[in-house]
Structures are given as C-alpha cells and as structure tokens.
Structure 1
Amino acid sequence: MLQAIRDHAQGWIAWVIVGLIILTFALFGIDQYARGDKTTNVAEVNGDGITATDFLTLYNREKMRLQKQFGDMYDSIVKDEELRSQVLDALIESKLISQWNQDNNLLISDQQLAATIHAAAVFQEKGQFSEKLYEDILARNGLNVARFEYEQREFLAENQFRSLTLSSAFATASETDQLTKLQGQQRQINYLRIDQRPFLDKVNVSDDEIAAEYEKSKDAWLEPEKVQVQYVLLSQAELAQGVEVNDDILKGFYQDNQSLFTLPEKRHAKHILIRVDAETDEGEAKAQKTLAEVEDKLKKGESFEELAKIYSQDPGSASSGGDLGEFEQGMMVPAFDQAVFSMKVGEISQPVKTEFGYHLIKLVSIEPKKLPPFADVKEEVEMQYKKQQAEKLYFDKLEQLNTVAYEQPDNLQAVADAVGLKLQTAEAFGRQGGASAMASNPKFIQAAFSDEVLKNNLNSTAIELGNNQAVVIHLDKHFPERQKSLEEVSPQIKQELTRNKAIAEASELAKSLLPKVEGGENPESLMRDGIEWHPVGWVERNSQRLLPQMVSEVFKIKKPKENSTVWHSYQLPTGDTVLIELSGVKDVDVNEQQKASLQKAFTELSSNAELDARLKALISKAEIVRKPIYETIK
C-alpha cells in the first residue's frame, strides 16, 4: 500500500492536467486554432470529432516544451509515436469530460468566467483588470474575444469535473493511524544466504538440452536488420585545427577585437547581512531594529569590519569583517549588484533588501576594466581567431556539401573529394543504433534507415548533428534480418541454462535447510562454502543495509506470534535464495509532521484513484475511433 502511494502520487494524470492547462491558458501559438484544415479529424469520440488543428496545437506546443527541456538529447529521449499517443489520449479525455458535463448540465456561469479572466495577472494594469489590455493581448495572438472565452469556459468546466472528484476523497483517522503504524513499523531479522555460484561448476548441460532450448526460443535469436554506411563528416572543430596563423595575423585580430579580450571592471566590497527571521511583521521589525542599531554605530565612527564580525549573519564572510573579495558585475543578486556598481569607493550604502535579508555594503576599491598585453592573451587570441575563421569556412563548406551531395547522389567518394573531406565507414548497426558515437546518434540512425538511403541507395542530405557538425551518409552494405544458427548461439544458451540449473540447485538446497532451521537447528552450524549466516537486527522500510527487493519482502512476511520466530524463503534477483528469520515486529512513533504528510499522500492516492476510475469508466462506455492520420500529420 505504501508503494502504491508513491506510484500514484505522480504519473500520467498529472501530465494530462498540465497539458490541458497549457492548451487553454498559454497564448503563444494559439492562433493556430484560426488556421489550418478544420475538417480533418484525428479521432471521434461518441461521434464528436477531435480536429487535426486541435491535435497539432497541443502536439507542437508539447514538442517545443520538451525540445527546450532536453535540447540535443530530445531525439534520444522522446519517442514521437509515444508523444502523439499521449497527446491524443489527453484530447480524448478532454472530449469525454466535455460530453459528460453537457449531459449532466455542469456549466460555468458568466460570473465565474469573468472572475477568472479578471483575476489573470496578464490582463491587469496596476493590479486592476484592463479591458483594452485584454483585447490587445488576444489580438496580438490572433484570437478574438469570443473564441478565447469559449476556450476558457471549456477549461473551467473540465477543471470543475476533476475538482468535484478530487475534492470528494479523504482519509479517515483510522486509515491514517493504520498507515502511520505501517510506515513506522520495524522488523527484527537475520538471514541465511544460499549462493547459486558454487553450483555453476557442478551442473551439466547436454547438447540435446541446448538444441531443445534453441528450438523453443528461436525468436530470441533473430539478428535484426543492420546497415553499414559510409559517411563524410564536416566539423567546425576539425576545420579550426587546420586554420594557419602567424603573429601578424593574430596581432591584427587582437587590435580589431579588443572587446573580446578586455578584462571587465571588478569591485571589492564588504557587507553586513541582517537576515529576516520570518515573513512576518515581528521578523521585519526585529531586522529593522538591528539595522538601525548598526547604522547608528557606523555614524558614530565605529569600524565597519568590527561591526560585521559582531552583527553580520553571513557565515562565509562575518569572521573576515564582511569581506566578499573582488567580483564582476552580474555575479551577485540583482539588487546587491546594482547597489555595488553605483557606489563610490569608501561609501557605505543604505540597507539593500535581497532574498537573503538586508545588506549594508561598503565599497573598498574599484579595479577598472583593462586590456591585457597581447603576449598575455596570445593563446586565447589564437583560439578565438581560429574559431571565427572556422565558423565562416564551416558554413561555406556546408553549402558546398549539400550541393555536391545532391548533384552526385550515388557517389559519396566524389562528394568527399570535392569538399576535401575523408570518407569514413561506420560499423554495422540496427535500428536501435550501434556502439560508436556516430552510430548511436538518433539523427544518423534515422537517415541511415530512410527510404532515400536504404531503398533508393542515394546520398542523404546534410544532417546537422549540433555543435556545428554535419554529415552526409551513403549505404555501403545492407544486412537483412536473419535467424542465427544453433552453432552461433550455443555458448550463450549453455551459459543461461547452466545458470538456471545452478539457481534451481541453490533453491533445492534452501528447501532442505528450511525444516532444519524451523526445527531449531542453529543456522551458524549450517554454514559452508556458498552458505552464509547474516545477523542483521532491526530494519525499517527505508533501510539501506539490504537490497530494496529484500526489504520489501521482509515487510510482507506474516507476523510471528509472541516469543516465536517465523522463517521465510525468498529468491533474490541475483538468483541466490535467502531464508529469512523474522523474530520481532514493533511500531515506532511517527511525528506529527510525518503523520500529516502520510495523510496527505493517502488522500491524494484515493482522489487520483477515484478520478482515474471515473475516466476509465467514461472511456469503457464510449465509442472511440482513433484515425491513423494522427500518427503522421504535421
């Protein structure tokens, strides 16, 4: 039950809710509602269509969000077919909820709609709703007032449906008490471990057994389709290595681009930090009182540094008189940064409020920006020059690469020669990729198995891999899916069968030992090669002393009667068998904060399970047609 709480407190339900909020409230790109093919449906729910426009709006927005989140790793993490399926599922649920609302007269009044829109900060000026701002924002996003308010009404109605279900769930006192006891429970255990490895050299596997296993599991020994491709790689980093330089060129570049090498201004400051204990009037008043006391002493001529040692609540600088050392503009939080870089040397600031509290700042010195001598930055000048030249060369060659690859589509060697690049060969790999960096790149794999390369045997277009790298590929060899022979896979099958037999032998030995320890025989007396006795003691549910799977199993064992012991056999994921001795169970008090957290988690579990059940009931009764076009439409 406790694991179920962890599993259900997050997941696809939360994803759907977030997606629906994005669909209705985010204005960016919402003008797509007013464009595109309005007659094509990607699905029908009880006869009502879900349009391609609605699907693409949510799909494209979610894709953009994930691309921003994962960057260059997007293609390797996000599977397009799964994303499309999730988006369509969300829209189907949304449609079912809308239909239920209509059937049950669950409506959003004009007053509710107006209150929601008026409360949105994006439509407010100086804390008040602005009709003009409201209309301007909608107009800039290609949406009229009527359409926007229709969408908001739909969202609010759907949210009301969910809220009605979620808010109806609760955890009773007895349920919370029971859960608290289970969470705080501890169990006293020891265990006897029977290792399967000593049996690996004792069991025999015959050729007939290997052949029988091969016939039974032939599908497991299919070698998937593979390709071996040739490619030419254009890399800005490699081009930079070939850029020739001399001192005259570098000195000229240094003079023309001094801003690249100028060291920024630095300021040396000290501060006294007075923290605000809490966001309350009392905490603020206490901080202000301390500030006034420090400022008064500063006015009387007391040392800033000595006062910092006494009053400053910054543990990193108080002992050194508030010294922060030198720093450039932009390195501190904005309010602090702005104050320091507007002060004069020797000046002490007025109190500056930041997220850390109040600061009194003393500016010690200013180190003006300066241009280091050429000799001091020669290496950086060379690096910047080569980078700049290589970038220009990269885009020139990229254009040339695309042109030649198109003009000579069946000859990659000619492309390599024309652009001055080396023809390389990637190891054979399947649709899941290979071991090398190139063969594991999703864009490279996709191009290798494209119709253009695989079926038509043509050069690919230039594929940009990121970091100013591009590649053109051509099919070298194609290896269709094939059945591996018995001779090829016999060693692997033998190894697996040997391991399975060893595990079975260890399990049988454990069965023979179980009656002995249940009868009172000392477990330590049973120890020999491969059999180990492990005294453990009391463990809790989050114990790190045992494998998580074993901890979970320990808390499934039936409680022993008072002053007695229970033995339980369990096979570990490693294949070893353990005989667990459970000799005691006790409840440990859980503090009120933990209890409140458990009650909240249990309530969320119940409410999410109820919402999930209601949605599944709607889906089970509905006539839903998913049209294949949703898998490819763009």
Structure 2
Amino acid sequence: MISSLRNKKKLITFSLWFIIAAFVGTIFFVWGVGDQAQQALYAAKVDGVTITDQDFRDKVESTKNQFRSLFGDNVNDILSGVKLEKSVMENLINEALLRNEAVRLELPVSDAEIATNIQSIQAFQTDGKFDPQLYVQLLSRNRLTPQIFEESLKQDITLKKMEDLIKQSVAVTDKEIEKEYIYRDSEATIRYLELTADNFIGDVKITDEALNAFYEEHKAEYEVPTKADFKYVIFDPENYKAEFKATDKEIENFFIKNKASFVEAEKLSAAHILLKVDNWSDEIAANEVYKKAKDIKAQIDAGKDFAAMAKKYSQDGTAETGGELGYFTRGQMVPEFEKVAFATKPGTVSDVVKTQFGFHLIKVIDYKPETDPVLDDVRDQITATIIDQKSQSSFRTYVFDIYRALVNKSNITAYNLQSEDKLVTNEIKGLSAKGDVEPLIGLADVAKKILSINKSEISQVLEVKGRKMVFEMTEKYDAYIPALADIKEKVTAHFVKVKSLELAQQKADEAAKLTSMDEAANMLNKNYTTTPKFKRSQPITGLGLNEKLMTDIFRASPEQFIQEAYTIGNKVFIVQVKEIVAPDVKAIGEQVKEQIKSQLYGTKSAQAVASYVLNLKTKAKISINPRYAEFYN
C-alpha cells in the first residue's frame, strides 16, 4: 500500500503544488492593454460556476512567475509543452468542484477569519506587524480593492476548510510507519561493470549512405527555429513624473471605506509541548500520556526550561524550535487550546490541556490587545496610499493613450514618422521562442506572444520585469532545416556519439545475458567495482541516480546478477546485487517516526483529496471552451 501511495503521490505532486502555493501570488495578475474582448470569454464551466478566460490566463502567468522565482531561466525547460496549462486548468476545475461542495455542505467563513488571515500574511507586514498602508498599497498597485481581495481570500479559506474536512478521514498506523522506515532506510551494496561509449568510437563506421540515413532520421533535431527582429518601446513607472495630492475628503472617505483593514485583532505569542494520543478509546494508554504531561509540568514549575523540555518531549513539528507557535488570533487554534491560551498570563505556563490531538502545556510569551486606530493615527498612511493609487492610475492612462495612438498609426515606425513627439525605441535581433535575446532572456512566454504577431504589427502592452513594453515585428525568418552539406560536421559528430553508445549497449546486453558477474567480467575482460552502501534516495557512487536501476536493485535478492544493462549518460552498466540490509524497526527514534508519520499523512491526505475530487467529477457537469480543449483531458 505504501509504495502504491508513493507512486500516486508522484502523479499528483505537480498539481497539488498549486493548491498549497501562496494565494497572494495567484490573485495578483499581470496588467495588459488590448485584452478587453478576451476577458468576457470563459475557459471552463463547472456546475454553473464559470472559470473565466482571464482567471485561466492570470493563473498561468502567476504560476510561471512562481516557478521562475524558484528555477530562474531553467523554468522554460521545466514547463515545456502544455503541461503547465494542463495543470492550471485541472487545478482550477478541482478548486471549483471543492468550493461548490463546500457551499453544499454550508461550511462557514467568518469576517474574523478573513481579517486574521490578512493580518498574518507577511507581504502585508512591516517589522512583523500588519501594516494597513502597505496592505492597501499592494492591492492598489495590482488594480485590486480590499473588497475584491477579501472575497478571493474568503474563497481560499473555504477551499482549505473543505480540504481539511476531507483530510479528517486520514490516519497513519504504526505498521505503515515501520514499512516506510524499512523502505527508506534499507541499504544496498552492488558490484558493477562499466562500458563507456568513448571506447567504441573507433568501431563506428562512417559512410555517406549511413550519414544520409542518420540525417533523414534526425532531421527535425537540426531545425533552425523561427526567429524575428523587433523594435520596442519601454514605459517605466519609475521614470514617470507626475504630482498628486490627497484631499481631506478623499482621506476621510478612504478611512471610512477601509476602516476594518486598519483594525489589528487581539493576538498572543505562545509555545507549547504536545504529547499525542493516537487512540482515545484506549483509556489506559491515554491516561499514561496525561500523567507524563503532568510530570513535565511539575519539572517546569520546579525550574526546568520550557524550550528545552519542548525540544525533548514535544511530538510535533515545533519541537526543534522549543515549541514556538508565533503569534495567533482567536479562531486559529482549536477551541480548547484557544480558551486556555487567552486565559493564561504572559510568562506563565498553563496546566495540562486536552484537545483532539493529545495533551498540551502552553506557555504564553506575549499578548497584544486589539487596536482600533482613529483617522489621525493613519492619516499619513492613507495619504501615501491615495497618492500612490493616483500615480498608478495616471501611469496606466498615460500608457493606454500612447498605445491607442500607436494602434491608430498602425505601428511604432509609422507613429514616429508622423508624430513630433517621437518615442525612444530599442531593437531585438534574431529572437526565438526560447527567449534567448535581451531583454527577454528566460522569458519564453513573452517571446512566444510577440512571435505570434505578423510583420509590421504591434503587440499588446506586455509586462516585462516590472515595466510595460510594446513590440513591433520588423522582420521574420521562417524555420528551416539546413542541408546536410551545410552541417555535415555537426551531423557526423552526432552520428558518432549515438552509434558509439549503441555499440556499448549491444556489448553490455550480450554480457548481461550470461549467468553471473564473473562470466560477464571475463567476456568483457574487465574487473568489476564494488560500491559503498547506499539508500534508495542516495546517488550510487560511480553511477549516479537512475530510478529504474534503483527499483531493480531493491527488488533483487542478495548476490543476484541482474540480467539487464542500464544506460546512464554515455555509459552502460551491468550490475550484481551484493547485499541488501534492512534497518532494525526497533531502532526508530521518536523524531524520525514523527517525520515519517507526517510525510505519510501528507501523501495519504493528498490522495484522499484527489479521490474525493475524482468522485465529484463523475457527478459534475464540466464544459471546456474549445479554445482550451488541449489543456483538459
């Protein structure tokens, strides 16, 4: 069952990444001019709920940005093809299904929960505290109002509550933990023979006939892609100069309209020690856990350090940091925990608290009462925000007016020929869809967009590294495949590389059909190498990582000669398993056990949500806009 769960996890990891990604990034979208007609289109409909074209494009764009922040320019290789769009479409549909189900089950979301979540978002904090001015400014810069953002946040909270409800059915048994521990920590040692393609280069026969056949077979790999030249103009908000003021009336209206966003809820900072109870029906075992919690409390009362005791005894992820939970407000913890925490004085430790998770000791570190500022307390913040909003709005209008003029004149070239106030232009030469020329290096999505226009046409206003840009295609070069005569040296090198590896594979396959490693070594006139011990998750010294090889090794028996050759890079390996040693399950430490349990819980929870969604899909009416049919199976 564990291996089955593990394989399923691999299939759903990519889509589930979107579910746990920070919602702030998914709400903030890239602003563009010229898309008004497309915004009215739909991407999908789920039981009457519409996923708009804009929803889909915004989510694709924000997800690309998130991946780009993680992987840099490599993002284009990772997100090749349409797998990103497929995952985004799948995720949006899954979210719609779960939200619809939450509505059917009448799962509530209070205003207090929304406020608490907003105030806990680091992007809206200054020096660890919620900053109302920063909150409104960030929303304003992305053309969002607090009302729109908070409704979106409400949807995210609803989704999380629905997922949490599904996950309540998930449990991890001790037997599963032991099996996973054995799977993870078993160690193997192998013997291997290595054949390198370079050793067979001299055996490759190069003839015109063979080279021609190879060229025809691999012709697509030599294609020179479509390229184009562009001129473009840049609109940089940092260079936009305009003076604005905020009137007293505007400040007052802003305060009245957004007063709730300036209120900071009552909160406290605490640490805890948790002793888990796995089975409440076993009263004897539960009572033993309670006695242990009381004993720990007595030791703390006698002078033991709370953080040290948490590191030693607590059975959750906060143990390493001394049980620290940070700041939280009412509604964020289970009721039993919250009631005692808010009744405990800062600097003191509570008595033993029972919750669904087990028994807790709570140390309150700090307490902050609710703050409800008057207008004068936040006047400067509001003034700066209003001015910032006016500046952003003015900049957008400025760009739109110029873009409209460009459209009226047909393109940038015609505009500069006919207008006295000429635009400063820049040039790009030989851009391909990979995004391989400045300023679009690593921005394949932008490169693809502007390559889709025709010569002399202009693009929409596009967001590029925080600036707005408009591109005009000045020349286009169609994709082509060079004649063999023009790239004969390149094709020959490729031919030799491929054929020498094939010869190494043929030789290795022949040796792997023998009955033992000794026979294979004698046939190849080579000595085998013995590796140090390694686990499934570790690279094999001399071979590296290869999923199929690793699977076959740990499925084999000690001393088994695996009658298959494995190609890794430009080398081919023949393998014999020397030994496999399983760990002693009695030696599992509590911390390792807890880590495994947490990982298994995550895997099983993800599978539970996926299974629930699959069941919802069988009953749902889902329609996809034909324009997006390739993104949904």
1:505 is displaced (CA, Å) by: 1.7
One-letter amino acid matched to 2:436: G
Q: Which residue of 2 aligns with 1:578?
A: 573
Q: Which residue of 1 aligns with 2:196?
A: 195
1:223 is displaced (CA, Å) by: 3.2
Q: Which residue of 2 aligns with 1:591?
A: 588
1:595 is displaced (CA, Å) by: 2.9
Counting only pairs closer than 5 Å after superposition, residues 177-576 of structure 1 correspond to structure 2 as 177-229=178-230, 286=303, 409-410=412-413, 426-437=428-439, 445=447, 448-449=450-451, 451=453, 454-455=454-455, 457=456, 474-514=472-512, 518=516, 520=518, 523=521, 533-544=528-539, 545-550=541-546, 553-557=549-553, 564-576=559-571
CA contact (8 A) 1:27 1:141 kept: no
CA distance 1:172–1:582, change in 2 (3 Å): same
Q: How far apart in 2 are the matches of 1:39 and 1:427?
A: 35
One-letter amino acid matched to 1:614: Y
Q: Which residue of 2 aligns with 1:614?
A: 612
1:193 is displaced (CA, Å) by: 0.7
Q: How far apart in 1 are the matches of 2:581 and 2:624?
A: 54
Q: How far apart in 2 are the matches of 1:71 and 1:559?
A: 39
Q: How far apart in 1 are the matches of 2:544 and 2:169?
A: 35
CA contact (8 A) 1:229 1:425 kept: yes
CA contact (8 A) 2:188 2:533 kept: yes
CA distance 1:428–1:614, change in 2 (3 Å): same
How large is the RMSD of aligned CA atoms in angstroms?
6.0
1:71 is displaced (CA, Å) by: 8.1
1:90 is displaced (CA, Å) by: 3.8
Counting only pairs closer than 5 Å after superposition, residues 1-16 of structure 1 correspond to structure 2 as 1=3, 4=7, 7=10, 10-16=13-19
CA contact (8 A) 1:5 1:601 kept: no
One-letter amino acid matched to 1:7: K
Q: How far apart in 2 are the matches of 1:101 and 1:231?
A: 48
| Structure 1 residue runs without a partner (length 5+) | 29-35, 126-136, 238-275, 290-351, 359-397
Further displaced range: 36-45 or 86-95:
36-45
1:503 is displaced (CA, Å) by: 1.7
CA contact (8 A) 1:192 1:578 kept: yes
CA contact (8 A) 2:566 2:572 kept: yes
1:177 is displaced (CA, Å) by: 2.2
1:619 is displaced (CA, Å) by: 2.7
CA distance 1:183–1:546, change in 2 (3 Å): farther
One-letter amino acid matched to 1:506: A
One-letter amino acid matched to 2:229: Q
- Do residues 170 (structure 1) and 171 (structure 2) align? yes
Counting only pairs closer than 5 Å after superposition, residues 79-90 of structure 1 correspond to structure 2 as 88-90=89-91
1:197 is displaced (CA, Å) by: 0.8
Q: Which residue of 2 aligns with 1:130?
A: none
SS of match in other structure, 1:113:
coil
1:185 is displaced (CA, Å) by: 0.9
One-letter amino acid matched to 2:549: E
1:609 is displaced (CA, Å) by: 2.1
Q: How far apart in 2 are the matches of 1:27 and 1:234?
A: 20
Q: How far apart in 2 are the matches of 1:208 and 1:87?
A: 47
CA distance 1:6–1:430, change in 2 (3 Å): same
One-letter amino acid matched to 2:225: P
1:587 is displaced (CA, Å) by: 1.4
- Deviation per CA, 1:110-133: give whole Å up to 9, x if none: xx738x5566664999xxxxxxxx
CA contact (8 A) 1:570 1:577 kept: yes
| Structure 2 residue runs without a partner (length 5+) | 30-36, 120-135, 137-144, 239-269, 274-295, 307-346, 348-363, 366-398
CA distance 1:437–1:76, change in 2 (3 Å): farther
One-letter amino acid matched to 2:588: N
CA distance 1:519–1:10, change in 2 (3 Å): closer
What is the percentage of aligned positions where both structures have the same residue? 14
1:205 is displaced (CA, Å) by: 3.3
1:65 is displaced (CA, Å) by: 8.9
CA contact (8 A) 2:15 2:88 kept: no
One-letter amino acid matched to 1:504: E
Q: Which residue of 2 aligns with 1:297?
A: none
Q: How far apart in 2 are the matches of 1:21 and 1:232?
A: 30
CA contact (8 A) 1:443 1:465 kept: no
Q: How far apart in 2 are the matches of 1:223 and 1:474?
A: 22
1:617 is displaced (CA, Å) by: 4.0
Normalising by structure 1, what TM-score? 0.53
1:538 is displaced (CA, Å) by: 2.3
Q: How far apart in 2 are the matches of 1:508 and 1:627?
A: 50
CA distance 1:183–1:89, change in 2 (3 Å): closer
- Deviation per CA, 1:154-201: give whole Å up to 9, x if none: 975x66654454333334433332222222211122211111111112
Further displaced range: 605-614 or 89-98:
89-98
1:502 is displaced (CA, Å) by: 1.4
Q: Which residue of 2 aligns with 1:49?
A: 48
CA distance 1:277–1:499, change in 2 (3 Å): same
Q: How far apart in 2 are the matches of 1:81 and 1:516?
A: 44
CA distance 1:418–1:201, change in 2 (3 Å): farther
Q: How far apart in 1 are the matches of 2:577 and 2:552?
A: 11
CA distance 1:437–1:207, change in 2 (3 Å): farther
One-letter amino acid matched to 1:429: L
1:58 is displaced (CA, Å) by: 8.4
CA distance 1:118–1:439, change in 2 (3 Å): closer
Q: How far apart in 2 are the matches of 1:277 and 1:186?
A: 38
CA contact (8 A) 2:195 2:508 kept: yes
Q: How far apart in 2 are the matches of 1:477 and 1:62?
A: 29
- Deviation per CA, 1:332-383: give whole Å up to 9, x if none: xxxxxxxxxxxxxxxxxxxx9xxxx99xxxxxxxxxxxxxxxxxxxxxxxxx
CA contact (8 A) 2:565 2:574 kept: yes
One-letter amino acid matched to 2:19: V
1:584 is displaced (CA, Å) by: 1.4
Q: How far apart in 2 are the matches of 1:172 and 1:211?
A: 62
CA contact (8 A) 1:429 1:439 kept: no
CA contact (8 A) 1:42 1:50 kept: no
CA contact (8 A) 2:60 2:85 kept: no
CA distance 1:628–1:557, change in 2 (3 Å): same
1:417 is displaced (CA, Å) by: 12
CA distance 1:176–1:27, change in 2 (3 Å): same
SS of match in other structure, 2:203:
coil
Further displaced range: 5-14 or 493-502:
5-14
Q: Which residue of 1 aligns with 2:352?
A: none
CA contact (8 A) 1:84 1:630 kept: no
- Deviation per CA, 1:33-82: give whole Å up to 9, x if none: xxx9999754333xx322367x7568758967986996899999598987
CA contact (8 A) 1:188 1:582 kept: yes
Normalising by structure 2, what TM-score? 0.53
Max Rg structure:
1
Task: Report how many residues are paired.
Answer: 446
